[in-house]
Structure 1
Amino acid sequence: MASDRYIDFANSDIGRRLVGAVGLPAPVRLERWQAGRLRPVEGALLLSAGPLAERVSGFAPRMTDLMFTLGDGITGAHPWSAEHGAKIKVVVFDASMLLRTAQLNQLREFFQPVLRQLEHSAHIVILSRAPDTLADPVAASAQQAIEGFSRSLAKEMRNGGTVQLLQVDEGAEDQLEGALRFFLSPKSAFITGQVIRLSPCAATVQDWSRPLAGRKALVTGAARGIGAAIAETLARDGAEVALVDVPQAKSDLEALAARLGGQAIVLDICAPDAATQLIGQISGGVDIVVHNAGITRDKTLANMTADLWDSVLNVNLEAPQVLTQALIDAGLVHDNGSVVLMASISGLAGNRGQTNYTTSKAGLIGLARAMAPALKARGISINAVAPGFIETSMTAHMPFALREAGRRMSSLGQGGLPQDVAEAVAWLSQPGSGAVSGQVLRVCGQSIIGA
């Protein structure tokens, strides 16, 4: 993949001076999860007051050694002030009790002094309630207002910082640890400005060092690129992997499967008997299904042939539809399992010359939303991951101007890495993933494209 030379320059001694003098964007190298790391947070955690924050304080010592509070009533937290306190690595603000317009000023009062005391690649998570769960229209309005605040704050963050909003349903408090272990850690480095809803779910992770231990994962399009990164990350987290790709990628697929101790399944997922072939090779079923296989065949609609249209829709949309339903009908997706569909931010926003591709990716988002209610009874989650500009061999061959534009059109001012997508998939594959279902998680650095 192509090197991002602008980031290299902007973070050099001479580059920092020049970029600052001219007023150019100054993206920083993001902190990402490294092998051997044991704890989600390396640095100080700052908690606000509030009932959800109190729940967080109960498991926070498993995440960090340093816990502070700006306010009263948080058990085990040391008082913090901007004048005399430590630099802050992660922040959890409980906004669930902001139910009147006048109370929203607590957002400004809390965050204004904190923002100047954040470390590099800091992570902020705001906790709230979903507005549609509140009967009082004024309270619902106040909680909806928090979404606008969180998205705007994400765009004001500096030095690789991120902001997320978690809407926590009553009864879903037990799922906070899993969500915060992801969103407060470098695993979510390229995710910011997102709103995720947590619903009640009985399943939980038993071993945070290997959260996918005992689970089997099926990954399509796994031989190279993002698919290979997903396979490697799932295996790192303890999953047994079965990897699928086309006959042309057989050598790469088998080499990766051998390295990960997994199974290689050579299969054209668009073949008329693909579902039958796949079912015949999945012994004992799976807990995780990741539909990563996808292709592009770009042309403006005026020049789009039927072959170009059909090939993209068949691979990107119809095959995941058919294979997912076949695996479920055959009872091969275990209870409390997860299905992850690889969408794209272009499926949310559209993209010139990609009517076929964006149609297929929007269809995957629709599939996740439509199937989620029926799968809930078995604890199976189904979600879409929507990557933005990710540094791959494909983007490395883009024209220079388009590649640079793609990199800079996000709050983080750079492209993501395949690892960033893989970490999101791994989180959505954990036990307890049923707390998040029928949703879209954008891995795009808060791209200005899309919603």
Structure 2
Amino acid sequence: MSSDRYIDFANSDIGRRLVGAVGLPAPARLERWQAGRLRPVEGTMLVSAGPLADHVRLFAQRLTDSLYSFGSDQPGATAWVAAQGPKLKAVVFDASTLLHSDQLNHLREFFQPLLKSLDHSAHVVILGRAPATLSDPLAASTQQAVEGFSRSLAKEMRDGGTVQLLHVDEGAEDQLEGALRFFLSPKSAYISGQVIRLSHCPTQVQDWSRPLSGRRALITGAARGIGAAIAETLARDGAEVVLLDVPQVSADLDALAARLGGQSLAIDICAESAALELIEGLPEGVDIVVHNAGITRDKTLVNMSAEFWDSVLAVNLNAPQVLTNSLLESGTLRDNGRVILLASISGIAGNRGQTNYAASKAGLIGLAQAWAPLLQERGISINAVAPGFIETKMTADMPFAYREAGRRMSSLGQGGLPQDVAEAVAWLSQPGTGAVTGQVLRVCGQSVIGA
């Protein structure tokens, strides 16, 4: 994996002066989750007034040791005053009561004074309602305006800061803790400018230190890279892991499975017998399925061979379709299960020389959206994670100019790490994230590519 030497330079004493003088990008070193950390927010958390914010206050002191309030007096919280209070590590603003365009000025009044008081790698979450759930056109329009504000604010953040918008359905308020434990913590370091909808979900996490305890997870393409990072992170969170990859890498697969106390399955997912082999290899069933296996065979369409086209579609799209369907029909994927599909921002925006790859990844997004309502009766959620530029062996082999462009063309000005993708998958694997289904979570640093 190639290291990003520019970040090291931009954060050195001489680099800061030079970068500032000539107007070059100044990406910050992102704060990521470390083993042994006890709380999601290590620093001061500010919560605004509002009905959804009132729900947040019920558990806020489980997230941080330093809680401040804005616009209301709350037990256990100190009133925050701009330019006088401590630096803010996490901010929650309740925008659910903004139902007319005249009320949008509350966004400026709240955020403008505090932007200069944000700590390094601060995380901001705005809470609202999904416009589609509001019968009043003016209210729906106003809540849609909040989305435009949140995406733009994310592009104005500095020093590794992020912004997300959570649309909270009526009855989904009890899912806020799990979402905020993720989006206000370093686990979401490389996610920004995203909009996620929370719906009602009857299942809850029982132990936040090991939220996947008692659950069994299958990860395809698990021997190396992002797949291995996903396996390690799910195991860290308490899951029993089953690692699948092609027979050619069985030595790496077996070694990782042994280290994680898991099971390995050497299966070619494109073989005709793959579905039967997989079901036979999972007699106890699974609760989590992560379709990470994928390949690239890049060529412009005019030069693309049938072999390049067919192989990418077979591995990236057809195999997840066939295997998931078999796991569902056989009952191997248990009720209240979680399916996570590794898509790509190429599947959202397209990419030159990747008609095959972009088609396959867009197909996965479509699969999540189409299957979600059909699986809800069994309590199963299905979502796509769309990584952007992630520092892997594949991106390290890219030509220098393309690699640098990929790194800098995002609000965070750098590439992500396999851990960033793994953390997103781990969150979507939790019992409570059945509240999120049929959606796409981009792990791209708010890349300029795509929506």
Smaller-chain TM-score bracket: over 0.9
Match of 2:435 in 1: 435
1:258-297 alignment, distance < 5 Å: 258-297=258-297
TM-score (norm 1): 0.99
Amino acid in structure 1 at the alignment position of 2:119:
E
1:39-438 alignment, distance < 5 Å: 39-438=39-438
CA–CA distance in structure 1, aligned partners of residues 165 and 100 of structure 2: 18
Amino acid in structure 2 at the alignment position of 1:353:
G
1:123-151: per-residue Cα shift (whole Å, max 9, x none)? Answer: 00000000011111000100010000000
- Does the CA-based 8 Å contact 1:336-1:432 persist in structure 2? no
- Does the CA-based 8 Å contact 1:230-1:422 persist in structure 2? yes
- The runs of 4+ residues in structure 1 deviating greater than 4 Å are none
Amino acid in structure 1 at the alignment position of 2:253:
L
Match of 2:27 in 1: 27
CA–CA distance in structure 1, aligned partners of residues 332 and 73 of structure 2: 48
1:123-180: per-residue Cα shift (whole Å, max 9, x none)? Answer: 0000000001111100010001000000000000000000000000000000000000
Three-state SS of the structure 1 residue aligned to 2:378 is coil
CA–CA distance in structure 2, aligned partners of residues 23 and 319 of structure 1: 47
Deviation at 1:283, TM superposition (A): 2.0
- Does the CA-based 8 Å contact 2:73-2:79 persist in structure 1? no
CA–CA distance in structure 2, aligned partners of residues 69 and 143 of structure 1: 23
Deviation at 1:74, TM superposition (A): 3.7
CA–CA distance in structure 2, aligned partners of residues 306 and 396 of structure 1: 27
Amino acid in structure 2 at the alignment position of 1:331:
G
CA–CA distance in structure 2, aligned partners of residues 118 and 336 of structure 1: 38
CA–CA distance in structure 2, aligned partners of residues 333 and 68 of structure 1: 43
1:313-358: per-residue Cα shift (whole Å, max 9, x none)? Answer: 0000000000000000000111111000000000000000000000
Three-state SS of the structure 1 residue aligned to 2:46 is strand
CA–CA distance in structure 2, aligned partners of residues 31 and 190 of structure 1: 10
Amino acid in structure 1 at the alignment position of 2:371:
M
CA–CA distance in structure 2, aligned partners of residues 122 and 205 of structure 1: 25
Three-state SS of the structure 2 residue aligned to 1:152 is helix
Match of 2:447 in 1: 447
- Does the CA-based 8 Å contact 1:49-1:74 persist in structure 2? no
- Does the CA-based 8 Å contact 1:336-1:434 persist in structure 2? yes
Three-state SS of the structure 2 residue aligned to 1:422 is helix
- Does the CA-based 8 Å contact 2:246-2:268 persist in structure 1? yes
Amino acid in structure 2 at the alignment position of 1:167:
H
Deviation at 1:73, TM superposition (A): 4.5
Three-state SS of the structure 2 residue aligned to 1:167 is strand
CA–CA distance in structure 2, aligned partners of residues 283 and 207 of structure 1: 27
CA–CA distance in structure 2, aligned partners of residues 320 and 88 of structure 1: 42
How many correspondences in the alignment?
451
Three-state SS of the structure 1 residue aligned to 2:58 is helix
Q: Which runs of 5+ in 2 are unaligned?
A: none
Deviation at 1:84, TM superposition (A): 1.5
- Does the CA-based 8 Å contact 2:344-2:385 persist in structure 1? yes
- Does the CA-based 8 Å contact 2:221-2:244 persist in structure 1? yes
1:198-257: per-residue Cα shift (whole Å, max 9, x none)? Answer: 000000000000000000000000000000000000000000000000011111000000
CA–CA distance in structure 1, aligned partners of residues 16 and 165 of structure 2: 32
Three-state SS of the structure 2 residue aligned to 1:7 is helix
Match of 1:4 in 2: 4
1:175-198: per-residue Cα shift (whole Å, max 9, x none)? Answer: 000000000000000000000000
- Does the CA-based 8 Å contact 1:345-1:387 persist in structure 2? yes
Q: Which runs of 5+ in 1 are unaligned?
A: none
Amino acid in structure 2 at the alignment position of 1:173:
E
- Does the CA-based 8 Å contact 1:309-1:356 persist in structure 2? yes
Deviation at 1:75, TM superposition (A): 4.0
- Does the CA-based 8 Å contact 1:57-1:75 persist in structure 2? no
Three-state SS of the structure 2 residue aligned to 1:432 is helix
Three-state SS of the structure 2 residue aligned to 1:265 is strand
1:10-43: per-residue Cα shift (whole Å, max 9, x none)? Answer: 0011101111111111001000000111110000
Amino acid in structure 1 at the alignment position of 2:230:
I
CA–CA distance in structure 2, aligned partners of residues 246 and 407 of structure 1: 30
Amino acid in structure 2 at the alignment position of 1:86:
P
Amino acid in structure 1 at the alignment position of 2:48:
S
- Does the CA-based 8 Å contact 1:47-1:68 persist in structure 2? yes
Deviation at 1:379, TM superposition (A): 0.9
Three-state SS of the structure 1 residue aligned to 2:415 is coil
- Cα RMSD between the aligned structures? 0.6
- Does the CA-based 8 Å contact 1:41-1:89 persist in structure 2? yes
- Does the CA-based 8 Å contact 2:83-2:117 persist in structure 1? no
- Does the CA-based 8 Å contact 1:40-1:182 persist in structure 2? yes
Same amino acid, percent of matched pairs:
77
